[in-house]
Chain A
Amino acid sequence: MKRDLHQFQGRLSNHGTSSSSSSKDKMMMVKKEEDGGNMDDELLAVLGYKVRSSEMAEVALKLEQLETMMGNVQEDGLSHLATDTVHYNPSELYSWLDNMLSDLNPPPPRSNGLDPILPSPEIGGFPASDYDLKAIPGNAIYHQNQFPAIDSSSSSNNQSKRLKSCSSPDSMVTSTSTATQIGGVIGTTVTTTTAAESTRSVILVDSQENGVRLVHALMACAEAIQQNNLTLAEALVKQIGCLAVSQAGAMRKVATYFAEALARRIYRLSPPQNQIDHSLSDTLQMHFYETCPYLKFAHFTANQAILEAFEGKKRVHVIDFSMNQGLQWPALMQALALREGGPPTFRLTGIGPPAPDNSDHLHDVGCRLAQLAEVIHVEFEYRGFVANSLADLDASMLELRPSETEAVAVNSVFELHKLLGRPGGIEKVLGVVKQIKPVIFTVVEQESNHNGPVFLDRFTESLHYYSTLFDSLEGVPSSQDKVMSEVYLGKQICNLVACEGPDRVERHETLSQWGNRFGSSGFAPANLGSNAFKQASMLLSVYNSGQGYRVEENNGCLMLGWHTRPLITTSAWKLSTAAH
């Protein structure tokens, strides 16, 4: 111990700054902060480490963890620390330990997408690693305590305390002593900044540390809601708000939307009814269509399945449960126009919810499609149906013609899950589809289970799902389109988290769940061919050089995902009994 102290003090005097006096100041400060203090406090203080008594337990725990990790980690891991890491102000032992631990234990991949708020400065020629503490001038958020029951007043006290203690950073050489103290593995030297930093008072923030805390806070809040502990949930929601601001990029947006949804759930503020917002949601979906390939993928793969099913038929009829702006159909009509043997007679029945201002927007969509059909010389017939819910439909309304003369396809993009909120809804619709006797029934749905009975499970699943989705949007340059797409997704999040009962319409389910449902209703899977796969792969490779997007085939269905996580699935079904 004494030897270390001499080494340490020797180095201090070598640096020739006022470090000896500043270490004394620190000792005073530490002594002021702690009450009484036992041997450990004094030792640490003498070495120049600032540790609060409140954090002693945690510091001890982390020292233990670091010791075990240094024992377990191979030589290479530590040497990287020696050359690559810059630790600003490691005299703050708590933060230094956190930094070391996060270096040895890389954080979860999701937080890798975080952008530093400022680029890390290279001071004194030391290269900065990715896991650095990034220096941020001003009142950035610092660590918050692990225990969730802190309200905002005490956290601001913490902040001012930290400001005071960090305002005079020093240059110190450490860790040789610490290494020997801890477990004496290898003499790693970790050097710090020089006096260049002392000119500005900075708060040091580990943004990845905050990212992990943010996720923990979100989960804790959801758990609190699950257990009906609304006061705790309220406190956590405020904390989430603060933490979310300290993040950047996708994490920040996702956290903000989820925080808002949680707040709505806690305070029982229901979001505006879906019906009123229908024209807005149409617009938002258009922007979502343009920004990212999910809807395009859905349309192109479904169209390919329908095209193949319509081969050789002279009269075809498509019933679309998800008419919206009819963006799916131009591509199909063009493919039909150019197919061998000439185009068939194309009839389209579009079904959509009523417009808020009673304007017949389905009619307008039909007019535009008719215009296109005329241009490309396809005989076209159109009928629009307005229905509040698909369950209100009856096969008799659809004016079906005998199946010998007309082949029918049914298409649904992101619509079927909305029926799961009302009992009997999905069964009725599937019954209607069976009555229609389509040659193919194409379904596109989100690939995630957001319809479990337990709120916490739904919350966790949707947090992962939407984080991945927002991550995939990060590559898109900022524009109004992108913002609107995020609002579109945000509305889904809000509905998922904040609503219950029949209001909660975003009840996504996985392919296997839908498969069971369709199987028990009398449908058999129809494999999407390799043409669909090829088109989808090509489409995605054109988008942003295809980085990140993956098309997978799963039991004849196609899934589009971001890196390893599938996000949406296109599947095709036919009647399992002998058709016609």
Chain B
Amino acid sequence: MSGKRISMVEKSNNKRQRVNQVPKFSINDHHDVLVEILRRLDGPSLCSAACVCRLWSAVARNDSIWEELCFRQVSPRPSLSLRSVVSALGGYRCLYFLCIRPVLARLPKLRWTRDQLQLSLSLYCVHYYERLYVGAWLGDAPPSSLMFLRKPVNVV
């Protein structure tokens, strides 16, 4: 080997050693950073992220992530009182899965505005109310007026 080459190899070896000395940064150790990243994802990506591993799944249950997802396109931002109401009714994650995602799937052309949000909230509230009926019904399962949202959409 030529001299130049030997020195290059030595330099890279040194670099590697230097790198080995710096402690590795693992995103899994910094949940708040992870949350901040996940907050910026869109729906399908967020759902994929929640399937990566148990830790990410647990972190993805953080409701503020889903709140961001629900309200990203709505302007003006809804009031803080909304947060307490939605949390009481079951949280933003459930709201997203039960109401917002199916509604969006069926209204692809419409922008996500306050009107759709209001509709989703009304349906969510009715759903909560119906869950209070568990045990008081003739049938086996509690009634769910959101069943119509769960049906497959015929995308023609």
Residues of A within 8 A of B (CB): 283, 286-287, 289-291, 293, 296, 300, 303, 325-327, 330-331, 333-335, 337-338, 340, 342, 364, 368-369, 371-372, 375-377, 477, 479-481, 531, 534-535, 538-539, 541-546
Contacts and interface: CB of A to CB of B under 8 A. Distances in A.
A515 to B, nearest CB: 28
A377 B85 contact: yes
Given A327-B129, A535-B119, A338 B82 contact: yes
A334 B107 contact: no
A290 B122 contact: no
B143 A290 contact: yes
B132 A545 contact: no
Per CB-CB distance, the 10 closest pairs between chain A and chain B, nearest first, are A331-B122, A334-B125, A330-B129, A375-B88, A330-B125, A368-B132, A542-B106, A376-B85, A290-B145, A330-B126
Interface of B: 78-79, 81-82, 84-85, 88-89, 102-103, 106-107, 110, 115-116, 118-119, 121-123, 125-126, 128-130, 132-133, 136-139, 143-145, 147-149, 151, 153-154
Given A286-B143, A333-B125, A376 B89 contact: yes
B133 A368 contact: yes
B107 A541 contact: yes
Nearest to B90: A375
A300 B148 contact: no
Nearest to A484: B139
Given A538-B107, A538-B116, A377 B84 contact: yes
Given A303-B122, A330-B129, A542-B106, 18 more contacts: A283-B138, A290-B143, A291-B148, A325-B133, A327-B129, A330-B126, A331-B122, A337-B85, A338-B79, A342-B81, A371-B132, A372-B132, A375-B88, A376-B85, A376-B88, A376-B89, A377-B81, A534-B115
Nearest to A538: B119
A252 to B, nearest CB: 23
Contacts of A287: 143
15 contacts: A283-B137, A290-B147, A330-B126, A331-B126, A338-B78, A338-B121, A372-B129, A375-B89, A377-B84, A538-B119, A541-B106, A542-B102, A542-B103, A542-B148, A545-B106
Nearest to B99: A542
A334 B139 CA distance: 27
B147 A481 contact: yes
Contacts of B79: 338, 340
A288 to B, nearest CB: 11
A290 B126 CA distance: 11
A476 to B, nearest CB: 8
A543 B79 CA distance: 29
A303 B125 CA distance: 14
Given A290-B147, A327-B129, A338-B79, A542 B107 contact: yes
Given A331-B122, A338-B79, A545 B138 contact: no
A340 B80 CA distance: 11
